[in-house]
Amino acid sequence: MFTDARHDVESLFHIMLLMSARHTIGTPEGEEKPRVLMRGSTGLPYQKWFRERNYGSLGSFKESFFSNMQAIELSPVFEDFRPWLRYLQNRFSKGFKLKPSPSNGEPVPWDDESATAEFNDETLGGYIDYSTILAPLRYVTGQLKRLIIRDPNNPLVPAQSTSASAAQGSD
Q: How confident is the model at residue 156 (pLDDT cuts 50, 70, 90)?
A: low
93 and 28 co-located in one domain? yes
111 and 166 co-located in one domain? no
Q: Are 42 and 158 in contact (CB under 8 A)?
A: no
Q: For residue range 61-115, list pLDDT tens digits in order.
A: 988 999 999 999 999 999 988 988 999 999 999 998 888 776 544 445 545 444 4
18 and 95 co-located in one domain? yes
Please give the mean pLDDT across all residues of the chain.
78
With respect to residue 153, please indicate whether it lies within any of the assigned structural domains.
yes
For residue 46, give its domain range: 5-130
In 3D space, the residue among 136, 21, 44 whose CA is nearest the CA of residue 90 turns out to be 136
If one counts the domains in the chain, the total is 2
Q: Are 87 and 136 in contact (CB under 8 A)?
A: yes
With respect to residue 150, please indicate whether it lies within any of the assigned structural domains.
yes
Phi/psi of residue 17, nearest 5 degrees: -60, -50
DSSP 3-state helix, strand, coil percentages of the chain (rounded to 5)?
55, 10, 35
With respect to residue 114, please indicate whether it lies within any of the assigned structural domains.
yes
